[in-house]
Amino acid sequence: MNGNKSMAGNNQMADKMKISEKMSHVGRKIMILSGKGGVGKSTVAANLAAALAAKNFRVGLLDIDVHGPSIPKIMGLEQSKIQGSSEGILPVQTGDNLKVISIGFFTASSDDAVIWRGPLKYNVIMQFLRDVVWGDLDYLIIDSPPGTGDEPLSIAQLLKPDGEAVIVTTPQQLAVSDVRRCIQFCSKLEIPIVGVVENMSGYVCPHCGKQTDIFKIGGGREMAEQLNVTFLGNIPIDPQIVISTDEGTFYLNSPEKFPAKKAFDAIVEKIMESKKNQQPADIDIAHSGSETRLAIPSANGKLCLHFGHCQEFAIFSVNRGAKEIISTETKTPPQHEPGVLPRWLKEQNVDIVIAGGMGQRAVSLFSQAGIEVVTGAESLELRDIVTAYLNGTLNTGTNICDH
């Protein structure tokens, strides 16, 4: 048993060494992340890779979106086949400077949903880094699945200490709140953030060039400013992106000067200018000026001291910078069991819990879930507690865990 374990350990070590050797031939390794699907992350990954290649950089594009590899379709490479060589897996070459590997090249059809569990996904991603013959590259652009699940985590760990991240969002408030989770993910894994891209940001008329803001634009820029992350630029909605993808041609390869092309070029310039490690990764989301969610266990409009057994939670969205309450809602928690409340409050996007008393074990479960806990608050009117908290005048006594 122990012998098997140590063999597995040796293999892992050998894999890591091979990956380090391979990756030492690659300049910058940039993961393209998004908090949720459908924001155009793969479109941005493909077009940024191609725009860099058009500037004569040697670029690799790695698509590790196990559940929906869309890079082959976006790039018009659906018919491409992977070839092996004695040195490893050969990527698909497109144009002079761009090499592409996608999980989609290995599945029967790129529409196949591949259902793999965490360890298998890790192995596949590890093999892509270890076995693909990239050669010397200036940039490796990695299209990860949305969210902060197994794949982004695996690739971030395998690239450590070298990966960087570009975060893609859309202008709507909801998408912007997903960005915060991505930033938190990068912060926890100490991944420098190159910047935030706001996609589908306004519509530029191809005839007169006038921009119409279909959704409120600028949420991505605002968020980037608040969190001290570089804003790389906006990409307008461009119907030609959808048309090109449907036709199996690649948007950026078409000779016309479509509106989003200029935007991709400008963003690439900013990426080229950005120096690795320039971003501080330790961004304190809860203490920035952006929206924060505070939860208070409550009964009859007041703080309830019986934390685990309260009837409901009042959840306040607040702007800590402006010291303002934005909105309030009341939610009924699921039945009390250890670990349930931290999970449930995390699902409600709560950042901070204000409680009267709480056991140490619960405090540590909240902290693992990334939720800050303030204990020792008095049983006052809820709004008064929040206002006092925002103004830094909340009286907190001893953490009396009465349950």
- What gap in Å lies between CA 194 and CA 171, rounded to an integer? 19
- What gap in Å lies between CA 93 and CA 79, rounded to an integer? 13
Q: Which of 164, 238, 291, 372 binds ligand ADP (CB under 6 A)?
A: 238
Cβ 152 vs Cβ 29: under 8 Å? no
Residue 118 is a binding residue for ligand ADP (CB under 6 A): no
Q: Which of 200, 204, 350, 358 binds ligand ADP (CB under 6 A)?
A: 200
Residue 223 is a binding residue for ligand ADP (CB under 6 A): no
Q: Which of 23, 31, 43, 54 binds ligand ADP (CB under 6 A)?
A: 43
Residue 152 is a binding residue for ligand ADP (CB under 6 A): no
- What gap in Å lies between CA 33 and CA 396, rounded to an integer? 39
Restricting to residues 178-197, name those near ligand ADP by CB under 6 A. Answer: none
Residues across the chain: 403
Rg (CA), the chain: 24
Could you give the C-alpha distances from 313 to 25, 115, 157, 165, 377, in angstroms and in order?
53, 36, 36, 35, 15
Residue 94 is a binding residue for ligand ADP (CB under 6 A): no
Count, in order, helices (H) and strands (E) of the chain. Answer: 12, 17
Q: Cβ closer to ligand ADP: 204 or 385?
A: 204
Which positions from 51 to 80 touch ligand ADP by CB under 6 A, shown as an x/- string?
-------------------x----------
Q: Cβ closer to ligand ADP: 104 or 297?
A: 104
Restricting to residues 246-305, name those near ligand ADP by CB under 6 A. Answer: 260
| Phi, psi torsion values for 280, nearest 5 degrees | -70, 130
Q: Cβ closer to ligand ADP: 18 or 36?
A: 36
Only segment of 93-101, 105-113, 172-180, 232-240 that touches ligand ADP (CB under 6 A):
232-240
Handedness of CA 126, 128, 129, 132 (dihedral sign): positive
Only segment of 131-139, 147-155, 240-248, 331-339 that touches ligand ADP (CB under 6 A):
240-248
Handedness of CA 149, 152, 158, 163 (dihedral sign): negative
Q: Cβ closer to ligand ADP: 42 or 298?
A: 42
Only segment of 113-121, 226-234, 238-246, 321-329 that touches ligand ADP (CB under 6 A):
238-246
Residue 235 is a binding residue for ligand ADP (CB under 6 A): yes
Would you state the torsion angle of the CA atoms of residues 58, 64, 69, 72, taken in this order, to the nearest 10 degrees? 20
Q: Cβ closer to ligand ADP: 38 or 339?
A: 38
Q: Which of 38, 84, 206, 339 binds ligand ADP (CB under 6 A)?
A: 38
Q: Cβ closer to ligand ADP: 147 or 297?
A: 147
Only segment of 182-190, 230-238, 293-301, 381-389 that touches ligand ADP (CB under 6 A):
230-238
- What gap in Å lies between CA 314 and CA 320, rounded to an integer? 17
Cis peptide before 161 (omega within 30 of 0): yes
Angle at 195 between CA 126 and CA 139, to 5 degrees: 45
Residue 155 is a binding residue for ligand ADP (CB under 6 A): no
3-state SS track over 120-173: HHHHHHHHHHHHECCCCEEEEEEECCCCCCHHHHHHHHHHCCCEEEEEEECCCH
Only segment of 101-109, 134-142, 239-247, 282-290 that touches ligand ADP (CB under 6 A):
239-247
Residues near ligand ADP (CB under 6 A), total: 19
Q: Which of 30, 31, 35, 40 binds ligand ADP (CB under 6 A)?
A: 40
- What gap in Å lies between CA 324 and CA 88, rounded to an integer? 57
What are the tokens at 295? Answer: 């939860």
Only segment of 8-16, 31-39, 80-88, 130-138 that touches ligand ADP (CB under 6 A):
31-39
Q: Cβ closer to ligand ADP: 194 or 315?
A: 194
Q: Cβ closer to ligand ADP: 156 or 373?
A: 156
- What gap in Å lies between CA 238 and CA 241, rounded to an integer? 6
Handedness of CA 370, 376, 381, 385 (dihedral sign): negative
Q: What is the smallest separation between the CB atom of 218 and ligand ADP, expressed in angstroms?
A: 16
Chain residues that interact with ligand ADP, rule: CB under 6 A: 34, 37-43, 70, 146, 199-200, 235, 237-238, 241-242, 245, 260
